[in-house]
């Protein structure tokens, strides 16, 4: 329980404080590929000239990630802004739990292993196969598969999603092929581990904020039912689908690995399933598909009776999933909690793609409001077309509503997130990202005028970079 904050009596203002978060907009290390610098941003250029500003670190240990080689991301960036302190994040907590073997001593891991041994059934892993360390890390998966063999599990199936977003956009085979070799080394007459299915992370399974449940439905059909296009190996699937579609990894269509014309790894009754992603936003919907007694979002056709667990608790208020392997960071004393205790009226807004960031993540991974009377949340529905086709996204609609709320005089704090830099940045389409920056800059100008006219204070920041680095680099530069 927090106590009300003491007011600073010397500071006088009429209008609200407006916190404007430019998602995925940073200072580029390289001139080449810096779409932020290349864009015509008259408003931001003027604000830099006329006002004090500084640079902030939004990656690595500065925001609670394991090392300074780890890129920042929207989740940890909003956590840091919302609490003003550094907490060990999911990536670090999971790595420590595996390194110390604390995970394997936990009740959930023991229950999952016991289930498959008692029923001579399959242990399934679902998640993102890369070392991006934003949603998952391949080393965690390898450690768990190896431990499963040590503990007497006979059959493992991996449902591997292609990344191409937190790592190189065409890097999938750099992860899939060594991982297949790793499994082959483990396999013997008593242990059989294989990749069973896959697909691009922006096509199947990893939807968030209820934006596109069709993605989750495709994932269910692919991983659980084994329905889809059949291939003899992941390499064949990836190479064939790349050639046919021209898609980068995150957009690759789903595939099922088969032998003798039958899927090698459908999910059946009495199996155990681990979602090995540790980040919550893109884990909640597939978790609901496994756990909900009744699901209205799509027809599951069948719901196997499995022991299901997430790598972490993805939502601490809703307690989702029911079982998890590692406890998430306990983030308390957040800004929103202090402000509501102090009677400060707050308005939060973004479009669907980042709505959860200015609410759930900003509030310390907490669902819901601290006060129904002092807070209001508004979500502008995101476009369902590819972001490069409409790179301005909903920044004008967000700005319209923010200006309306500024002029209303109802709020002491207004916080908003413009997703353009991150969401369009992830498409890799350079000119679209430049366009997104210019569209956002126009709306910042409108908001700045409204704040000035109202006698308020405008604070502009970002959660991490992305649009400033559109060319591929290794983690060491």
472 inside domain: no
From residue 8, how far is each of 5, 414, 441 by CA, in Å? Answer: 9, 19, 32
Clarify whether residues 154 and 264 are in a common domain.
yes
Q: What is the per-residue pLDDT across 26-80, written as a single tens digit (0 to 9) for each?
A: 999 999 999 999 999 999 999 999 999 999 999 989 998 878 877 888 889 999 9
| H or E, element range at 460 | strand 457-461
Cβ atoms 414, 402 nearer than 8 A: yes
Clarify whether residues 198 and 144 are in a common domain.
yes
Clarify whether residues 322 and 216 are in a common domain.
yes
At 473 the pLDDT is 62
466 inside domain: no
301 inside domain: yes
Clarify whether residues 67 and 199 are in a common domain.
no
- The residue out of 294, 326, 358 marking a domain boundary is 326
Cβ atoms 206, 281 nearer than 8 A: no
At 475 the pLDDT is 47
Question: For residue 23, which of 464, 399, 471, 468 has the smallest C-alpha distance?
Answer: 464
Clarify whether residues 450 and 391 are in a common domain.
yes
312 inside domain: yes
Clarify whether residues 32 and 154 are in a common domain.
no
Clarify whether residues 172 and 304 are in a common domain.
yes
CA 421, distance to chain mean position in Å, is: 15
Residues near 266 by beta carbon (within 8 Å), at least 6 away in sequence: 196, 224, 225, 226
Clarify whether residues 172 and 81 are in a common domain.
no
Tokens of 359: 């609410």
222 inside domain: yes
Token match 């300074």: residue? Answer: 68
Cβ atoms 374, 343 nearer than 8 A: yes
311 inside domain: yes
| H or E, element range at 275 | strand 272-275
Tokens of 290: 């496994």
- Distance CA(400)–CA(386), nearest Å, equals 23
439 inside domain: yes
Clarify whether residues 178 and 257 are in a common domain.
yes
CA 75, distance to chain mean position in Å, is: 7
Exposed, middle or buried by CB within 10 Å (0-12, 13-18, 19+), for 35? buried
Residues near 136 by beta carbon (within 8 Å), at least 6 away in sequence: 127, 128, 129, 130, 276, 277, 278, 279, 311
CATH of the domain at 48: 3.40.720.10
389 inside domain: yes
- Distance CA(108)–CA(346), nearest Å, equals 39
Token match 């040590």: residue? Answer: 150
- The residue out of 326, 357, 383 marking a domain boundary is 326
Q: Give the range of the structural domain holding residue 28, as residue numbers without chain letter.
A: 17-86+331-461
Residues labelled catalytic: 74
Give the residues of the chain that fall short of pLDDT 70: 316-317, 473-477
Q: State whether residue 198 is helix, strand or coil.
A: strand
Residues near 400 by beta carbon (within 8 Å), at least 6 away in sequence: none
CATH of the domain at 160: 3.40.1450.10
Q: Are strands 272-275 and 375-380 parallel, antiparallel or unpaired?
A: unpaired
- pTM of the predicted model as reported, rounded to 2 decimal places: 0.71
At 73 the pLDDT is 86
Clarify whether residues 94 and 129 are in a common domain.
yes
Q: How many domains does the chain fold into?
A: 2
CB-hemisphere CA count at 13 Å for 161?
Answer: 35
Tokens of 312: 């972490």
Cβ atoms 24, 134 nearer than 8 A: no
Clarify whether residues 81 and 139 are in a common domain.
no
At 317 the pLDDT is 53
DSSP 223: I
Clarify whether residues 362 and 434 are in a common domain.
yes
- The residue out of 326, 349, 368 marking a domain boundary is 326
- Distance CA(363)–CA(334), nearest Å, equals 6
What stretches of 15-165 adopt beta strand conformation (E)? 17-22, 123-128, 155-162
Q: What is the per-residue pLDDT across 396-425, written as a single tens digit (0 to 9) for each?
A: 999 999 999 999 999 999 999 999 999 999
């Amino acid at each position: 329980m927090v106590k009300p904050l003491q007011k600073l009596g010397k500071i006088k203002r009429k209008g609200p404080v407006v916190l404007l978060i430019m998602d995925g907009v940073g200072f580029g290390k390289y001139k080449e590929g810096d779409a932020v610098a290349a864009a015509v941003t008259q408003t931001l250029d003027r604000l830099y000239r006329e006002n004090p500003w500084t640079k902030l670190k939004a990656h690595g240990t500065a925001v609670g990630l394991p090392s300074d080689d780890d890129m920042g991301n929207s989740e940890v960036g909003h956590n840091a802004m919302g609490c003003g302190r550094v907490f060990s994040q999911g990536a670090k907590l999971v790595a420590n739990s595996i390194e110390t073997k604390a995970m394997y001593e936990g009740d959930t891991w023991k229950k999952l292993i016991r289930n498959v041994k008692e029923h001579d059934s399959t242990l399934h892993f679902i998640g993102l196969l890369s070392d991006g360390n934003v949603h998952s890390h391949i080393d965690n998966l390898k450690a768990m598969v190896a431990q499963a063999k040590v503990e007497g599990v006979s059959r493992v199936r991996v449902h591997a999603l292609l990344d191409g977003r937190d790592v190189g956009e065409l890097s999938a085979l750099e992860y899939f092929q060594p991982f297949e070799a790793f499994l082959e080394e483990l396999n013997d007459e008593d242990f059989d581990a294989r990749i069973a299915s896959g697909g691009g992370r922006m096509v199947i399974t990893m939807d968030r904020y209820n934006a596109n449940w069709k993605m989750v439905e495709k994932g269910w059909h692919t991983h659980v039912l084994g329905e889809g296009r059949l291939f003899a190996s992941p390499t064949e699937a990836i190479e064939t689908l790349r050639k046919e579609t021209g898609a980068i990894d995150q957009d690759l269509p789903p595939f099922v690995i088969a032998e003798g014309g039958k899927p090698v790894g459908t999910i059946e009754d009495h199996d155990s399933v681990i979602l090995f992603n540790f980040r919550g936003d893109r884990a909640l919907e597939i978790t609901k598909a496994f756990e909900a007694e009744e699901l209205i979002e799509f027809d599951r056709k069948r719901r196997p009776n499995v022991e299901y667990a997430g790598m972490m608790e993805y939502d601490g208020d809703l307690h989702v999933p029911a079982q998890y392997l590692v406890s998430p960071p306990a983030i308390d004393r957040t800004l929103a909690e202090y402000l509501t205790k102090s009677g400060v009226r707050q308005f939060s807004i973004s479009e669907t793609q980042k709505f959860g960031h200015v609410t759930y993540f900003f509030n310390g991974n907490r669902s819901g409001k601290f006060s129904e009377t002092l807070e209001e949340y508004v979500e502008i529905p995101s476009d369902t077309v590819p972001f490069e086709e409409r790179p301005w996204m909903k920044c004008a609609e967000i700005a319209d509503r923010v200006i309306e709320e500024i002029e209303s005089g109802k709020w002491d704090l207004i916080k908003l997130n413009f997703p353009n830099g991150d969401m369009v940045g992830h498409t890799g389409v350079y000119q679209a990202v430049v366009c997104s920056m210019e569209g956002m800059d126009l709306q910042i100008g409108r908001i700045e005028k409204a704040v000035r006219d109202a006698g308020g204070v405008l604070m502009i920041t970002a959660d991490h970079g992305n649009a400033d680095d559109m060319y591929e680099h290794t983690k060491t530069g």
